[in-house]
Structure 1
Amino acid sequence: MSEKLFKFDQLSEQSQENSVKGFSKFFVKMYRDRNMELISQDINNSFLWDIDREVYRNRFESIEHAAKDTVKYCSRNYREILKDLDINFLANGTSELPWEDWYQTKYDKVPAGL
């Protein structure tokens, strides 16, 4: 039997915090790899601006350090983004799929030639 899945806003406060921390590392990596198009298409991009600025400010730091800083200063923005993304979470806040797999699934759905 599989675990019950939740939308971000159905998670407990602690689980939401876990989700934000997990997503932040993925986000920083995608930002540095310049692969934000698939993330930015499903959300209100105003939530990205503060995070982007913080990631840029930490551009010479490790992904872990930059992610930690973005969570510290932009947690509310991450929460809004996670509400809008089409992904489910386990009760502990872990994404149903690893973030890289979620991204690949979205990428595979993009029509050829775009």
Structure 2
Amino acid sequence: MKEYKLGIEATLEIIGGKWKALIICFLMTGVKRTGELQREISGISQKVLIQQLRELERDGLVYRHVYQQMPPKVEYSLTEYGVTANRIVDVMCAWGKDNIKRRQDQGEDIVLLEDT
């Protein structure tokens, strides 16, 4: 039996880490192919991206559609359950923007590219 002391432990087990919340965020805009996600998420390797997508698929947040064609085509989208993670991702985005603003106000040379 798996036990958690806090609910956030279960949340972090599913969407924690450097990449999963970003993947969910980009999939919120619609269906994406592996290459599209890799271009949008700078710094992620194809191996890590596929591993993270498979984990999100295993946990029921991401749907993987494989087209039977040559060359192979795979698309990823959020499941209905995956869309519920948007509430968490939105809060994380808002907190991140506030954090960047705070750091700018303290004189740090930092920029949020989505604002440019």
- Please, what TM-score do these two structures have when normalized by structure 1? 0.32
Question: Which is greater in Rg?
Answer: 2
As a proportion of its length, which structure holds more helix?
1
Q: Which has the higher contact order (CA 8 A, sep 6+)?
A: 1
